[in-house]
Chains A and B, each alone.
Chain A
Amino acid sequence: MKNAISWLSLIGLLALGTALLGWWAVPAIAAVYGFIFPERRHGLSTALASALAWGLLLAVTASQGPVLELAAKVAAVLTLPTAALFAVTLVFPALLAGSADELTAPVRKAALDRRDQPVATLY
C-alpha cells in the first residue's frame, strides 16, 4: 500500500514537474526518487511512472484541443507513423526517468553501505 502511494505520488510529481519546469524535471525527479528510496528495485517502475505521467498530461492536452490531428500532422513532418509519435512521447520520459533512477539508486545504496560499516575497524 505504501509502495503504491509512493508510486502514484511519483506519477503526480513527474506530471507536475513537467508542466511547471519542463522536460528536465523528469530525470531530476527520478534521480531524487532513486536517491531517497535506494532499497527498492524501481528502475522499471519509475520508467513506467514517467510514461504514465506524460500520458496523463497528453490526455489533459487532448481534452483541450485536437491532439490526434496534431499528431498526424507532426508525425508526417517527422516522417513517422502517427502511433510512433505517441510511442516516442511515452518512451522518451521512460528512458530518462528509468536511467536516472537506476543511476542514483546504487550511488545512494553504496553511500549507505559505507556509512553502516562498523567503526571498530578503525582501531
Chain B
Amino acid sequence: MKAKTLLRGILSAVILAGVAHVGARRVGPLPPLGQLLDPWNGVWAAAAVAELPEHQSLSLPDLSAPVRVIYDDRGVPHIFASTSDDAARALGYVVARDRLFQMEMRWRTAAGRVSEMIGEEALGYDRYIRELGLAWSADRDFARFDAASTAARNMEAYADGVNAWVDNLGRRDVPLEYRLLGATPARWEAAYSLYLLKQMGWNLTYGVEPDLRRLRVIARVGREAADALMPVNSPIQQPIQPNGSAEPRYDFATIPPPGAPDQLAARLARDIESFLGPLADARDPDRVLGSNNWAVAAERTAAGYALLSGDPHLGLTLPSIWYEAHLVVPGELDIYGVTIPSVPAIVIGFNRDVAWSFTNTGADVIDYYEEVFDGDENPTAYLLDGDWRSLELRVEEYYGRAGALLEVDTLYVTHRGPVIDNDGRMLSMRWTVLEEAGATDALLAAARASNVAEHFAAMASFTAPAQNVIVADRAGTIAIRSTGHFPVHPDGLGNTVRDGTRTASDWTGYWPPDSYPQSVNPDQGYLASANQQPIDPLDGAAYLGADWPSPWRAMRINQLLAANAAVTPDDMRRYQVDPGNARADLFIPFFLEAVDRLAARGEVDVGARRAAELIAAWDRLYTKDNERAVLFHAALDELSNRTWDELLEAPDDEGPPRRVFTPSSAVIASLLHQPESAWWDDARTDDVEGRDQILVASLAAAMQATKEQHGEPGDGGWRWDGVRHANIYHLLNMRSLSALDLPIQGGPGNLNPSSGRGTHGASWRMVVQMGPEVEAWSIYPGGQSGNPVSTRYMDRIEKWVDGELEPVLFPRAASEIDPSRVVSVLELNPER
C-alpha cells in the first residue's frame, strides 16, 4: 500500500515538474505554455481586447491639458490637443495601443537587437546591421538635437506616450506576437524615432549593393560595357522635372560589345561581398521598390482645384507600415495623413492648405573608400594624406533571448563612416543616411506649411533618404522637387571605389537646394514622378546617380495626364490602378516585326507564330481577367535570359550560375536598335544570333513555358489574377496572420506594379482635392489595428485589391464628427 502511494507520489511529481517546466520555460520553438494557454491572460485574451472600448478616460503623465481622441468608423484617431507636444504624446499612446509589437520589431531591426527577442538565429543579421551603423548614427544625431527644438520635444513626448501605454499594459493587452515569442514588451526611447528613419534610408538606398553590382559587371565584361549597361543617364527620358516635351525622349546610345574581364574589379567585389553577403541572382529585371506621385494644376481639373495623388510603393506587411491619423492643435496644426509607427509626425498627407507625397529619388548617396590601417590586428589609425589619423572604435555587444552575452564585436569608424574589415583589406563607407539627420524637423515643419513655397522651405533641411516631394496647395500651385542631401563627388561621378588615403577622394559638399531637380506650375499643367531619372541630362544637371529604373510608370502616367484636360478625383483613383503598360507598348511591335521578317525567310516555328498571334491580339492591359499578359511577361523573361547570358557568373560552389546584374528593360529597349550587336548572340548555342532570332526564340520559348505552366490558351489558366498575386505577410512571416494570394490588376511596369513574389506594392493610396474645403480619399492594404483578430486588422484589403478609395473625415473640431461615425472615444487627462 505504501509502495503504491509512493509510486503515485513519484509519478505525480514527475508529471507536475514536466508540465510546470513547459508551462514556465521555452521548449524548442514553443514559448512557455502557461502564459500562452492561460484562457484569461494568455494568447486567448487577444480576442477579448481586439476592439476599441466605446469610451475610456485615463491620465497621462506630463500632459499640459486634456486631449480628446475620437476614433471614426475607419479606425482613424482624430487627436484634439492644446499643444503639439500633447498631440505627439497622444499619438505615441494611440499608435502603441494599436501597433506595439510592430514598433518594437522596427527599432530592434534597425538597432541590430533582434536576437534579444527572437533568439540566437538572428545574430548574423544583428551583426550586419550594427556594422552598417544605423542605430549608432541615430543615437549620435539624437544627442546633437537641441532639447528645446520642436523635433526633440515631440520625440520625447511621443516616447512618453508610448511608455504610458507600455508601463500600464494589462496582462490581457499584451499583443499576440509577444505571447507567441514568449517575449515581454520593452520601453520606448525617444531616439528610436530616428532609428526608423535610418532604416527607411537603408531600404530606400535599394540596400547598399548597387556599387557592388557594378563592380561585378566590370569584373565580368569590362568597364566600357558596364558603363553602358548601367548608364548614368536613362536611355528613355521622361524626367521628373519636365523637359518641355509631353512625349518621352529616346536616347538610345550604342552599347559596346562585352569586353575582357577586369581582375581588379573582381577582387574589390569579392571584398565587399564578403561583408555584405553574396549578391542574389539578379533575374528580376526591374526593381521591385517604386512609388508614384503626381499632381494636376487647377486649370486641368474638372472642378478647377488642384489634385494630388500619393502612391508610395513599399514592402507590404501586416500590420501595414502606415498608420492613419489626424492631429489638431488649434492655431498651430491641423494635419491628416499617415505616420509610420515610431515617428511623431505625419509623413504623407495634407493640412488645410497643402497636400504632399513622396517617391524615392534613388540617387547615388553612398561611396566606398579603400583604406590603409596601421595594422591588420586591432588597428588604431588609418592613413590620410601621409599622416596617421585615429580610428574611432565601437564595441558592440550582442545578447540573446535570456540576456546571455552572445558575442562582442569591435568595429572601426573613419571620418567617412563605418569600416568593412575583410582579412586586413579595409573599406570604409560614406553614406548620407549616416550623416546628420534632418528628416524629423523637416517633416514637422512641413506639416505647418500654408503654401508650396513654405513647404519647400521646410523640406530644405531634409537630408535622407532623398525623396521626390510633390506638393499642391489651395491656391492651385503644384510643384515637385527632388529633396535630400546629394553629394558632390570630386570626379563628378560616384560609382567607383575610391582611394581612402587622400582627402581629395572625399565628397566636397552637397548640392544646394536651389539646384535640386524641381518644377513649379509647369506649362503642361501636371507633374509626376515614378522613381525615374529626375532631370533630363540635356538640361545640364550634374551626376545624381546611375542605372535609373526604367521609366515605364512615368511614361504611362504622363500619357494619361496629358490626355485628360478635366481630371476628376475618380480619374486620379483609376490612374493609381491603371492596367496600361508602356513597356508592352514599346516591346510588342519589335516582337511582331521580328516574326514577320523571319517568317518571310521561313525561319519561324509554329510556337513563335502562335505566340505572335496571341500577343498581337492583346489589348496590352494587365487586368485581372486578361489572358495574354502572362505570355508577354514570359517572353520578356526569355528575352532577358537570352540577351544577358554574358552576365552569368560561374559559381564558386556547386550552385547554378548566377546573373550578376540584369540591365533595365530600358537598356534592352536601347539594344533593340542595334540588331547586330554582339550582345544578342546567345553564347550557349552554336549559332550566332542577331536581334530577330533572339526575339523570335524568346517568343517560342515563352509559348512553350506558358503552356507547360498554365495549360492551353483559352482554358482559363492564363488569367493574370491566377498568375500574379499580392502577398501581404505578417511581420513574423506567419502565414495564418497574413493575407496571401490577393488578385490584383497590374504587372511589372504598371502604375500598380506587382513584383515576382507579390510582397511589394502600393502601400498607401491617397487622392486630395485642394478646394475651398479640402477633400481626400485614401486606402492602404491592411488596417489600423495590429491585433490579427481585430476587425480593424485587414479591413481595408478588399477595397485596396479592387482599387477603391475611402473618403476620409477631416473635421476641424471634435463636434464636427457625425456621432454615428464615432466608434470610440479616448479621454486623456493630465496626471494630478
Contacts and interface: CB of A to CB of B under 8 A. Distances in A.
A77 B736 contact: yes
Contacts of B47: 61-62, 64-67, 69-70
B762 to A, nearest CB: 25
Contacts of A9: none
B737 interface: yes
Contacts of A13: none
Interface in B1-51: 5, 8-9, 11-13, 15-16, 19-20, 23, 30, 33-35, 37-51
B9 A70 contact: no
A90 to B, nearest CB: 9
Most buried by A among B19, B35, B41, B171: B19
Contacts of A61: 39-40, 44-45, 47-48
17 contacts: A22-B38, A23-B42, A64-B48, A65-B46, A65-B49, A66-B50, A70-B789, A74-B43, A74-B180, A76-B734, A95-B16, A99-B16, A100-B16, A103-B13, A103-B16, A106-B9, A109-B5
A89 B39 contact: yes
A95 B19 contact: yes
B19 A99 contact: yes
B460 to A, nearest CB: 47
A14 B39 CA distance: 12
Contacts of A43: 12
A38 B709 CA distance: 70
Contacts of A72: 736
Contacts of B735: 76
A89 B37 contact: yes
B8 A102 contact: yes
A33 interface: no
Contacts of B16: 27, 95-96, 99-100, 103
B13 A65 contact: no
Nearest to B788: A73
Nearest to A34: B12
Contact of A77 (B20, B44, B180, B789): B180
Contacts of B180: 74, 77
Interface in B545-565: none
Contacts of B40: 18-19, 57, 60-61
A75 B36 CA distance: 12
A86 B788 CA distance: 18
A76 B736 contact: yes
Interface residues of B, number: 39
A37 interface: no
Interface of B: 5, 8-9, 11-13, 15-16, 19-20, 23, 30, 33-35, 37-51, 171, 176, 180, 734-737, 788-789
A99 B13 contact: yes
B15 A95 contact: yes
A22 B45 CA distance: 12
A36 to B, nearest CB: 17
B736 A73 contact: yes
B39 A92 contact: no
Contacts of B788: 70, 73
Interface of A: 18-19, 22-24, 27, 43, 54-55, 57-58, 60-62, 64-67, 69-70, 72-78, 88-89, 92, 95-96, 98-100, 102-103, 106-107, 109-110
Contact of A89 (B8, B11, B30, B44): B44
Contacts of B19: 92, 95-96, 99
Q: Which 9 A-B pairs have the closest CB atoms?
A: A76-B736, A65-B47, A102-B12, A23-B34, A64-B48, A99-B16, A99-B15, A57-B39, A58-B39
B26 to A, nearest CB: 13
Given A19-B40, A61-B39, A102 B9 contact: yes
A44 B48 CA distance: 31
Nearest to B179: A74
A89 B37 CA distance: 5
A73 B23 contact: no
Decide if the interface of chain B is mainly helix, strand, loop or mixed. Answer: helix
Contact of A99 (B12, B44, B48, B171): B12
Contact of B39 (A27, A54, A109): A54
Contacts of B37: 23, 88-89, 92
Given A24-B23, A103-B12, 15 more contacts: A22-B41, A43-B12, A58-B44, A61-B39, A61-B40, A61-B48, A64-B47, A65-B47, A65-B48, A69-B47, A70-B788, A73-B736, A92-B37, A98-B12, A102-B11
Contacts of A54: 39
A55 B47 CA distance: 15
Contacts of B734: 76-77
Contacts of A103: 9, 12-13, 16
Contacts of A95: 15-16, 19
Given A74-B176, A103-B12, A65 B171 contact: no
Nearest to A25: B38
Given A73-B736, A73-B737, A92-B37, A66 B789 contact: yes
A121 B30 CA distance: 55
Contacts of B51: 65
Contacts of A27: 16, 20
A102 B46 CA distance: 33
B736 A106 contact: no
Nearest to B34: A23
A69 B737 CA distance: 11
A22 B819 CA distance: 39
Given A73-B737, A76-B735, A107 B38 contact: no
B23 A23 contact: yes
B12 A65 contact: no
A49 to B, nearest CB: 15
Contacts of B11: 99, 102
B171 A22 contact: yes
A65 B12 CA distance: 36
Contacts of A88: 33, 37
A104 to B, nearest CB: 9
A57 to B, nearest CB: 4
Given A88-B37, A89-B39, A106 B44 contact: no
A108 to B, nearest CB: 12
A24 B34 contact: yes
A53 B321 CA distance: 40
Nearest to B732: A77
A19 B44 CA distance: 12
Contacts of A92: 19, 23, 33-34, 37
A18 B38 contact: yes
Contacts of A69: 47, 789
A107 B8 CA distance: 11
Given A61-B47, A92-B33, A23 B736 contact: no
A102 B38 CA distance: 22
A99 to B, nearest CB: 4
A89 B179 CA distance: 14
A5 to B, nearest CB: 24
B736 A107 contact: no
Contacts of A73: 736-737, 788-789
Most buried by B among A43, A70, A75: A70
Contacts of B39: 18, 54-55, 57-58, 61, 89
B50 A65 contact: yes
Contacts of B43: 70, 74
A107 to B, nearest CB: 7
A79 to B, nearest CB: 10
Nearest to A95: B19
A76 B789 CA distance: 14
